[in-house]
């Protein structure tokens, strides 16, 4: 009887109701998910802007609010990436090294998401380490460097009469010679997100452009030497560059390394047969170093820029409204995105219908923010080697005009080339012609 009376009192007071307990538990879970949405959507980063960190894109608060308003109901979910001791493993089992930051540790500690996450919010930016163990050796004098073995490519690097008469065929030959080009889906994976017009400012990409890149890519000599150069510059246009002796050694070492590859050997054969460069290969390498790394004025300041800095690293214009110029290299994009400095915002619709880019596409026209500053349209060749891009742009600079309509494998491309005087590259980049 005493138990019956106690039970009636509990019911009257609302205690012990299983449905209510479940509802309260569900409410707590929803609030937990809402709080989690705030964490991963970048609200913490927004709060840290006053400390000088990179500003986040304007849509992140909206995603967070949508999560809070929905309370986690009717979510479409997908499996979450698995983290193993600082490495991210994909389904094929390859590893991608990156720093285990706070959101990883929080998720592992709470263990309440059951390995799932909502797909209608922007994932946090991933940070990862890059294999740089051998980069310090690049700062040694050229005579102390260790380079790849010279390879005899035989007649394969001899330009044909047809190629000498047709720039497009010559550029396509460079594409064929790029044995160091990566294979989409095997060496890396990208997620193009959704498309947009160039004038649209909405963020159409839920996550990063690059989802995975094989770790050993950065151990390839030309790739690693290229990446070691990227932090030698002040990206603010008009800021005077100070080039140290070590940086000059890195430049010379990079040119020496790519000069041992087929695309650059072909470039030398082509230009020397036209009488543009010396047949002496050492003279040719000095010319390449000067062409790409000699400083010139930009933004009203002398010695503030170079062809390499503008085309591959990118610059931020300081006059008037800030905007990004240059920045056409996929490796720079990958590294800056991994550091949280680049926010990919979707691809630009192709001119022709039915040409929507996908994870296999290696010529992309995209929109992104770099350190919070928008670049509304930017084209880049994804997965190509550094030696290929250097050879391609050098060939178009010497043999072409401002517009160079060529074929690169399956891609019709216009290599746009702007000159400073007759002997300097102001800018050069691809434009998709489909």
Active site residues: 310, 328, 375
18: buried, middle or exposed (CB in 10 Å: 19+, 13-18, 0-12)? exposed
Query: Hey, which residues does 415 pair with through a beta bridge?
Result: 404, 430
Reference 73, options 117, 30, 121, 19; nearest CA is 30
Helix axes 167-177, 386-399, angle to 10 degrees: 170
Query: What is Dmax (Cα atoms) for the chain?
Result: 110
280 Cβ contact partners less than 8 Å away, ≥ 6 residues apart:
none
**Element (H or E) spanning 367, and its range?**
strand 363-370
State the Cα–Cα distance between residues 32 and 39, nearest whole angstrom: 11
State the Cα–Cα distance between residues 20 and 348, nearest whole angstrom: 50
Place of tokens 């350190």: 371
Q: What are phi and psi of 233, to 5 degrees?
A: -125, 150
Place of tokens 């500690």: 109
The conformational region for residue 347 under phi > 0 = left, psi -120 to 50 = alpha, else beta, is beta
Rounded alpha-carbon distances, angstroms, from residue 214 to 44, 88, 180, 217: 30, 11, 14, 6
Contact at 8 Å (CB) between 395 and 379? no
Sign for the CA dihedral angle at 395, 401, 403, 405 comes to negative
Alpha helices, DSSP H, located in 183-340: 221-229, 245-258, 262-273, 281-293, 307-308, 330-338
Residue 115: CB atoms within 10 Å: 11
Q: What are phi and psi of 419, to 5 degrees?
A: -110, 150
């Amino acid at each position: 009887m005493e138990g019956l009376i106690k039970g009636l009192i509990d019911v009257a007071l609302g205690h012990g109701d299983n449905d209510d307990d479940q509802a309260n538990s569900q409410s707590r879970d929803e609030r937990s998910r809402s709080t989690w949405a705030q964490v991963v959507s970048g609200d913490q980063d927004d709060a840290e802007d006053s400390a000088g960190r990179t500003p986040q894109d304007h849509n992140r608060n909206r995603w967070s609010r949508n999560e809070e308003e929905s309370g986690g109901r009717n979510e479409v979910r997908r499996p979450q990436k698995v983290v193993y001791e600082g490495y991210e493993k994909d389904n094929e089992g390859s590893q991608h090294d990156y720093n285990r930051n706070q959101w990883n540790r929080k998720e592992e500690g709470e263990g309440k998401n059951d390995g799932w996450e909502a797909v209608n919010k922007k994932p946090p930016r991933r940070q990862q380490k890059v294999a740089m163990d051998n980069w310090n050796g690049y700062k040694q004098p050229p005579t102390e460097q260790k380079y790849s073995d010279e390879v005899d490519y035989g007649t394969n690097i001899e330009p044909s009469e047809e190629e000498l008469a047709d720039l497009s065929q010559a550029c396509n030959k460079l594409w064929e010679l790029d044995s160091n080009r990566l294979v989409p889906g095997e060496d890396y994976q990208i997620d193009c997100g959704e498309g947009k017009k160039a004038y649209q400012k909405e963020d159409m990409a839920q996550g990063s452009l690059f989802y995975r890149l094989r770790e050993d890519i950065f151990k390839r000599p030309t790739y690693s030497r290229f990446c070691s150069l990227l932090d030698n510059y002040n990206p603010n246009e008009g800021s005077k560059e100070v080039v140290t002796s070590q940086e000059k050694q890195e430049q010379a070492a990079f040119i020496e390394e790519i000069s041992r590859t087929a695309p650059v050997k072909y470039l030398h054969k082509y230009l020397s047969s036209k009488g543009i460069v010396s047949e002496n290969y050492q003279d040719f390498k000095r010319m390449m170093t000067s062409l790409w790394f000699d400083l010139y004025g930009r933004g009203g300041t002398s010695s503030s820029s170079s062809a390499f800095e503008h085309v591959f690293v990118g610059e931020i214009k300081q006059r008037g409204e800030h905007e990004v110029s240059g920045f056409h290299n996929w490796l720079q994009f990958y590294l800056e995105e991994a550091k949280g400095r680049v926010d990919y915002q979707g691809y630009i619709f192709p001119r022709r219908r039915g040409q929507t880019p996908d994870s296999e596409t290696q010529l992309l026209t995209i929109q992104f923010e770099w350190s919070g500053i928008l670049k509304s349209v930017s084209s880049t060749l994804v997965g190509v080697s550094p030696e290929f891009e250097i050879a391609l742009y050098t060939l178009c600079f010497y043999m072409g005009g401002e517009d160079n309509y060529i074929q690169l494998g399956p891609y019709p491309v216009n290599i746009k080339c702007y000159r400073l005087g007759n002997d300097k590259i102001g800018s050069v980049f691809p434009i998709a012609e489909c």
